[in-house]
Amino acid sequence: MALPRVNAVVVGSGAGGGVVACQLAEAGLSVVLLEKGRWQSPFEERKDDLINQRNSSLGVAYGPDEDKNPRVAVDLQGRERVVYPRDGAYQPNASCVGGGTVSYGAQAWRFMPQDFRMRSTYGAIEGSTLEDWPISYEELEPYYERAEYEIGVSGDVEPNPFKGPRRKPLPMPPMTPKPREYGLLHAAALRLGLHPFDTPLLINSVPYHGRSACMRIRWCVGFGCETNAKNGTQNTVIPRALATGNAWLRTECKVKEVLLDDRGRATGVAYFDENDRLVEQPADLVVVSGGATESARLLLLSKSRLHPSGLGNRHDWVGRNLTGHTYTGAVGFFEQQIYDDIGPGVCVSVCDYNHGTPGMVGGGMLANDFIRLPIQFVNQQPPGTPAWGKAHKDFMRKYYTRNILVFGPTQDLPTWDGRVQLDPKLKDHWGVPVLRISGNNHLRTVEIADKQAERAEAWLKEAGAVVSYQRKAGRGVTGHQHQSGTCRMGSDPKTSVVDATCRVHDVPNVFVIDASVHVTNGGFNPVLTIYANAFRASGLLVKAWKGGGLRG
Amino acid sequence: MGDPYAVGRRGFLKTGAVAAAATAVACGKPDSRWRALSEGEAQTLAAACDQIIPADQDPGASQAGVVVFIDRQLATRQKKTLPTWQAGIAALEATARRRQGKTFVELSADQQTALLQQIERGEGDKADWGELAPADFFRLLHGHTMMGFYGDPRHGGNKERVAWRMLGMPDPPVRGRLHETPPPPALAPRPAAAPAPRKG
């Protein structure tokens, strides 16, 4: 079945695709936005601490379907295992209208200027495909601002001396009142000579764009927001796109491949609709925004005579350089009461350690964590404390309300072997080959990440922790909600997948606009960069469209 | 013991009608209070869970409904793991019988602790455990006891939010909205069954 032709089809409605659909529709293009998951309204939000994005012990709440989308994970010993979205090795991200932005913690970080030129800053690193971005912080700055204002960010980053230049302050003030953790950690950071400030969040501290302010509950990160105070694409740019009358959102549509003609141009996409019927959507241009794992999969699946190994994959770069973040930090236990039930929790951060550690590469931001629910605290006892029995119960009673977790995302070094590829055997529910995920964390990443854990512990001790321990780096490839890098942006077609405008090198009308194009992923939660780059790339796309260069 | 599937007065009132309809078609052993486990398995499991989280000034695992939680999981979304649980429980019993000539429930608290510590370390006789790795079963038991005790009450454990109250968390967890959803018809309350004969 083929549908009427449209100007653009956008695959995926997360941070990248939502912005693109909005920008194209507002520029007058007809747009079909395809989303694999459902539309989950804030009014049906029922928080469940065992079924969410942070704890999926019993399931995932925001997609993808748990049985229909297996993957193959290869561990450090090379053993293969079929995994499902509940499993961390799946490198899961949400799959619903808004993608990860429905249930994220919503930290709103700009990368630092050095994060765009890691290769120039640190030189070639053995075993890593480290490279500079083809664009600079300065080029992205106006779009960071648009993301902050159009999606909505609260916080106060002015006291952060390490930030890149910016023209405007954040649109919303930090949340008040501040939790007890703020006072302790802020003062301790100052005593250590650090530069603490209020964490920027894509959460309303005051009413903004017609939606309410945060009600400060404990169930935030990993959950949708029932008062709609957490800003994602589902409650900002997607409603804007639909309001133009130029955009159509179709949910539960699983895109199978990008269709190509004999000249190597895309003619649209084929997808399975909500009733599993195979449908073709013809379009003048295709934007792939499925997140770093699924976008790479779609390019690899789109094979044709001119692209026998998949779109953009002439030089075998699609799916490689998979990076998320290596999270390390420390847990501190205090004599006095810390817990005060003022969500979302994360409120104070430092960027003193993002760069400049002698002999090491990169670093990352450190901040206190969101409120951890009891089930997320049960395995946080210091080494040596029994994990069960009376001692466990005593630990929980004493320390659940007397602990702080400080941690952060260490910037990962991308590697050639940290990758996703199509599994030769396993297929999903629709008969489409699934992803196979493999690779290791780079040892230089492990080294700096463990250093970050030491620093987090020192901060907690200065704040008065009587007992503390470090959470060290894992050794496997990272991805998860911060997945990035698999369709690298670059000016050389031999060593990248898309150009600086996010257009696939050897296809004139296919774009990848999401974290897949990140050359490196910063020492920060990446979502604001995804938003900003999507504003930038879709602006360039509209310009090219108006110039007529994209019409077949 | 009360009905293990009681969902609290508010939930019960809401689901009463559905429940009445569902009772007629409920599958499983009609005389059992459990959906997936046998009465004997449930008793063994209760004793093991109470080792993981023992009762003291606050309720222990079984009082908080952890066995109800696990049984519900094994009847619904984790149906596939039921054979593993049954094998693990049987292996615990076999080990207790072989070493002490008693059922697991009859062992003293210290003996139960020692046995669980052994399986946590992965020590177990092949004759009792077969293909199942004792440490894997312990992880399953430990993980699910934690989930049942500290997790959301809608799944049958953490009865009346005992764990959250024990930790001093303010109530209710979510302001301004009905937090819990009623259970699906398949998990609706059953009328109280005749008490099971005590084994021993």
Q: Is residue B165 within 8 angstroms of chain A, CB to CB?
A: no
Residues 55-114 of B with CB under 8 A from A: 56, 58, 73, 77-78, 113
Chain A residues in contact with B155 (beta carbon < 8 A):
50, 58
Cβ-contact A294, A92 below 8 angstroms: no
pLDDT at B190: 52
The type of residue at A267 is T
pLDDT at B187: 57
- Nearest to residue B67, comparing CAs of B39, B107, B31, B91? B39
Question: What pLDDT is attached to residue B170?
Answer: 79
Judging contacts by C-beta atoms under 8 Å, the chain B residues touching residue A215 are 175-176
Distances (CA, A) of A136 to A196, A356, B148: 26, 19, 50
**Pick from A201-215, A350-364, B10-24, B63-77: least confident:** B10-24
Residue type, B153: P
Token pair of B19, please? 């429940």
Nearest-Cα distance to chain B for A103, in Å, is 16
What are the C-alpha distances in Å from A150 to residues A256, A384, A532? 32, 49, 10
C-beta separation of A185 from A406 below 8 A? yes
Mean pLDDT of B51-76: 97
Residue B189 in this model has a pLDDT that exceeds 80: no
- The more confident residue out of A273 and B3 is A273
Q: Which of A41, A43, A49, A51 to mutate to test the interface with B (most CBs of B within 10 A)?
A: A49
User: Strand, coil or helix: what is A471?
Assistant: strand
Specify the pLDDT at position B30.
59
Whether residue B53 lies within 8 A of chain A, CB to CB, comes out as: yes
> Taking CB atoms and an 8 Å cutoff, what residues of chain A touch B175?
215, 217
C-alpha to C-alpha distance for A278 and A431, rounded to whole angstroms? 12
Q: What is the pLDDT of residue B172?
A: 67
**Rounded to whole angstroms, how far apart are CA atoms A485 and A482?**
10
pLDDT at B66 over 70: yes
Residue B200's pLDDT band (boundaries 50, 70, 90)? very low
Give this complex's ipTM.
0.94
Cβ contact A259:A64 at 8 Å? no
pLDDT score, position A466: 97
Place of tokens 């093991």: B48
b/e B166-195 (16+ beta carbons within 10 angstroms → b)? bbebeeebbeeeebbebbeeebbbbeeeee
Longest dimension (CA), chain B: 55
Q: Quick one: DSSP state of residue A274?
A: T
Give A30's strand partners.
none
Cα separation, A486 vs B124, in Å, equals 45
CB contact A218 to B (< 8 Å)? yes
Averaged pLDDT in 10-residue chunks for chain A of 552 residues: 92 98 98 96 85 94 94 96 95 96 98 98 97 98 98 97 98 96 98 98 97 92 93 98 98 98 95 97 98 98 95 97 98 96 95 98 98 94 94 96 98 97 98 98 98 98 98 95 98 97 96 98 98 98 92 66
Handedness of CA A526, A529, A535, A541 (dihedral sign): negative
**pLDDT value at residue A226:** 87
Whether pTM > 0.95 for this model: the answer is no
Residue B35 reports pLDDT greater than 50: yes
Nearest CA in chain A to B172: A217
Which are the contacts of B12, defined by CB distance < 8 A and separation ≥ 6?
Answer: B6, B19, B189
Closest-CA distance, B194 to chain A, in angstroms, reads: 32
pLDDT, tens digit, 9 for 90 and up, residues B126-183: 999 999 999 999 999 999 999 999 999 999 999 999 999 999 887 766 655 555 555 5
pLDDT above 70 for B20: no
Every domain of chain B and the residues it spans: 4-172+180-187
Q: Indicate the SS3 state at residue A83.
A: strand
Q: What is the pLDDT of residue A464?
A: 98
Average of pLDDT values for B89-112?
Answer: 96
Say if B8 is an interface residue toward chain A (CB within 8 Å). no
